[in-house]
Amino acid sequence: MIIAVDIGGTKCQVARAEDSGKIQESVRFATMDLAGTLAAIDEAVTSLSPDASPVFGISCGGPLDSARGIVQSPPNLPGWDNVPIVEHLVSRFGGTGYLMNDANAGALAEWQFGAGRGVQSMVFLTHGTGMGSGLILDGRLYEGASGDAGEVGHIRLAEAGPIGYGKNGSFEGFCSGAGIGRLAEERIPGFPHPTAKQVAELAEQGNPQALAVLAESGKWLGRALAILIDIINPEVIVLGSVYTRSGKFLEETMRAELAREALPSALRACRILPAQLGEQTGIVAAVAVATYRMGRRG
């Protein structure tokens, strides 16, 4: 039996799943302080009636020490300072447990159960508030020497530009939801602190400034994807929430930049797809952590 735990900054979800990954039942609740959230997780696990040897799959924003199962002060989880979440659950409920950052877990989810099913090489980009990434290479998750593989949001694309990941002009700065909001705040008068969703809504109404902001973000997205295509030569790149919502406003400039920058043969071999799992991504990602570590990949 799998018990999946998705820990987010505003909400959490716990689910019971079959070893195949099929979710049977789940519980959602708001994220509280550390003590309150741990108590709610324990209560949710108990309510799902785990067997004597559950396999816990846990997805959480980083930084983490995944090998030791420790959550290490994620910015969206105040007070979660070196929390041994795997030990906490296993000591109470038995079984085994595995912890993984949400970008790698999301990559596993889309690879096993979503847009990347059946491929051997895939890049997954969260394309949400930030720009996290997970890499599937030669049929396995590539985590790197220190567990930091796939931090593509840190790539600097230009010397000047919106700040993301602590860098001016980074991939995250130009293309994440937060970065699009910062671009819009600079370019659209009388629109303080906009979100990427609000920019997309304005673009739907034909607002030329919103359309220009998304076109610029699409250009930088294409440039970054060209780098990934040239280096990794993936079969598929799967893009998350911003692209699933606003892809039509990003597509033209993204494709033009890809045609300009990427190796033609590598570009022809790569499909660029929206993520398929939508609102279920978080909990399916936690399930995918367990199925992957168990050697069952959907």
Instruction: Give the model confidence (pLDDT) of 193-244 as tens digits.
Output: 899 999 999 999 999 999 999 999 999 999 999 999 999 999 999 999 999 9
Mean pLDDT across 55-73: 94
The percent of residues in the chain predicted with pLDDT above 90, rounded, is 87
pLDDT for the residue 129:
87
pLDDT for the residue 121:
98
pLDDT for the residue 296:
63
Is pLDDT of 298 > 60? no
Residue 91: band (very low, low, confident or very high) from pLDDT cuts 50, 70, 90: very high
pLDDT for the residue 192:
87
pLDDT for the residue 266:
98
Tell me the average pLDDT of the chain: 95
DSSP for the chain, please give it: -EEEEEE-SSEEEEEEE-TTS-EEEEEEEE--SHHHHHHHHHHHHHHT---SS-EEEEEE-S-EETTTTEE---TTSTT-SSB-HHHHHHHHH-SEEEEEEHHHHHHHHHHHHSTTTT-S-EEEE--SSS--EEEEETTEEE--TTS-TT-GGG-B--SSS-EETTEETBHHHHHSHHHHHHHHHHHSTT--S--HHHHHHHHHTT-HHHHHHHHHHHHHHHHHHHHHHHHH--SEEEE-HHHHHHHHHHHHHHHHHHHHHS-HHHHHT-EEEE-S-GGGHHHHHHHHHHHHHTT---
Is pLDDT of 118 > 70? yes
The percent of residues in the chain predicted with pLDDT above 70, rounded, is 99
Mean pLDDT across 258-268: 98
**Structural domains in the chain plus CATH codes:** 2-101+280-293 (3.30.420.40), 115-276 (3.30.420.40)
Mean pLDDT across 20-47: 96
Mean pLDDT across 274-297: 91
Mean pLDDT across 100-114: 96
pLDDT for the residue 228:
98
pLDDT for the residue 271:
98
Is pLDDT of 297 > 70? no
pLDDT for the residue 145:
87
